[in-house]
């Protein structure tokens, strides 16, 4: 599951990505084969952190399982 992390809140992608020109046709982040295609991976400082990405719009996207 992908979540958008902001300074003081966590949002579902549909709350942010619906208006993004880089989102897919259903207003979701472009997630394919385990990678965020509309952003880049951020290196984790330890293995306990979830996978993190920065989308091209500047939001922090976290993959939570």
Phi, then psi, of 32 in degrees rounded to 5: -145, 130
Query: Phi, psi at residue 17, to the nearest 5°?
Result: -75, -20
Q: What's the pLDDT score for residue 59?
A: 93
Which positions of the chain have pLDDT values less than 50?
none
- Using alpha carbons, select from 8, 39, 42, 12 the residue that is nearest to residue 27: 12
Q: Where are any strands of DSSP class E within the chain?
A: 2-5, 10-11, 31-32, 35-36, 39-42, 51-55, 60-63
Q: Phi and psi dihedrals of 62, rounded to 5?
A: -120, 135
pLDDT of residue 12: 93
Print the domain residue range for 19.
Answer: 2-63
pLDDT tens digit sequence for 40-50: 999 888 888 88
Domain count, the chain: 1
pTM of the predicted protein model: 0.81
């Amino acid at each position: 599951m992908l979540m958008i992390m902001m300074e003081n809140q966590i949002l579902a992608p549909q709350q942010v990505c619906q208006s993004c020109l880089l989102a897919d046709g259903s207003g979701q982040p472009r997630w394919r084969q385990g990678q965020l295609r509309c952003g880049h991976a951020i290196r984790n400082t330890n293995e306990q952190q979830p996978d993190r990405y920065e989308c091209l719009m500047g939001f922090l996207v976290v993959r939570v399982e």
